[in-house]
Structures are given as structure tokens and as C-alpha cells.
């Protein structure tokens, strides 16, 4: 408003446009900072109850925070920023834990399947071996009992 009330000079309109554009950019940044503050308080408090379901919200807020300039980052409460960073770290750790658990479970299932298949295969091999030797065993058993009984 002050520029409209000041005396006329060359390029007054051009400076007015630049000032309005800069003012709008500053307001947008202030609104973004306020929006981040409010969303952190609304969506992330209490920070201790963060879980994997909050991953998208946390990443969105974290990326918006990173997009701010260093000066603009100082406009946020340090407690909120610390909570946001801790929340992101917690979600990353939970995600990594889930992935490692799935990999370990898969490996355990594969090892169990291999062991079970190996046991089944050995039982089949043993059964085949016994089925081949059984007639000879019966004959040996018969001969053994005949010779053993004759000696007694």
C-alpha cells in the first residue's frame, strides 16, 4: 500500500509487481511453515505411537520440511522438528525390521521344506532298499533258524 501512496518514479509499476510477487512468495512460505507445524501436531502427536501406517504422512511432512530453506526451517519448533526426524527414523527402522523378519521367515520356511523333503526322500530310499533286501533277509532268517536249531 505504501508504494501506491509514494511519489511517481520511473518503473514504479515494475517494482510494484516485483514487490507483490515477493510478498506472495513470502506468504506462501509462511503458510507452508504453518501448515507443516499444524500437520505435525495434528497427525504425529504423540510421537511415541508412530507406526508403519503413518509412513506416508511422515515422508510427506519430512520432504516438505527438507524443501524449506535453512532460515525457514528455524521457524519451526525444535521439538516438532526433532519429533519429525525421530518419527521418520522410527518408521525406517520398523520397515527395515519388517523386511528382515520376512526374509528370515522365508529362509526358515525354505530350510524346513528342504529338511522335510530330504527326510521323505531318505525314507523312500530306505523303503526301497528294504523291499529289495527283505526276501533275502527272510531266507537268511530261515536258514539261521534252521542251523541254529540243529546245533541246539
What are the distances in angstroms from CA 149 to CA 79, 139, 143, 152? 95, 15, 10, 5
Q: What pLDDT digit, counting tens, does each position of 8-61 carry?
A: 767 777 877 888 898 899 999 999 989 888 888 888 788 778 888 888 989 999
pLDDT at 142 over 60: yes
Residue 46: the pLDDT is 82
Q: How many CA atoms lie within 13 A of 92 on its CB side?
A: 8
Q: Report pTM.
A: 0.64
| Average pLDDT of span 83-96 | 91
Tell me the pLDDT of the chain averaged across its residues. Answer: 83
What are the distances in angstroms from CA 68 to CA 33, 63, 139, 146? 8, 9, 91, 99
Amino acid at each position: 500500500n505504501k508504494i501506491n501512496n509514494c511519489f511517481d518514479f520511473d518503473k514504479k509499476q515494475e517494482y510494484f509487481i516485483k514487490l507483490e510477487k515477493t510478498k506472495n512468495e513470502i506468504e506462501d512460505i509462511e503458510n507452508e511453515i504453518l501448515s507443516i507445524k499444524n500437520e505435525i501436531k495434528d497427525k504425529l502427536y504423540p510421537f511415541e505411537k508412530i507406526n508403519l501406517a503413518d509412513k506416508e504422512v511422515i515422508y510427506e511432512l519430512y520432504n516438505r520440511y527438507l524443501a524449506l530453506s535453512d532460515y525457514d526451517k528455524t521457524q519451526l519448533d525444535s521439538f516438532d522438528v526433532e519429533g519429525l526426524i525421530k518419527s521418520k527414523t522410527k518408521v525406517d527402522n520398523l520397515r527395515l525390521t519388517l523386511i528382515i523378519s520376512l526374509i528370515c521367515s522365508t529362509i526358515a520356511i525354505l530350510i524346513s521344506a528342504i529338511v522335510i523333503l530330504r527326510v521323505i526322500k531318505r525314507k523312500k530310499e530306505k523303503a526301497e532298499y528294504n523291499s529289495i533286501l527283505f526276501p533275502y533277509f527272510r531266507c537268511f532268517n530261515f536258514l539261521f533258524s534252521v542251523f541254529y536249531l540243529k546245533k541246539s
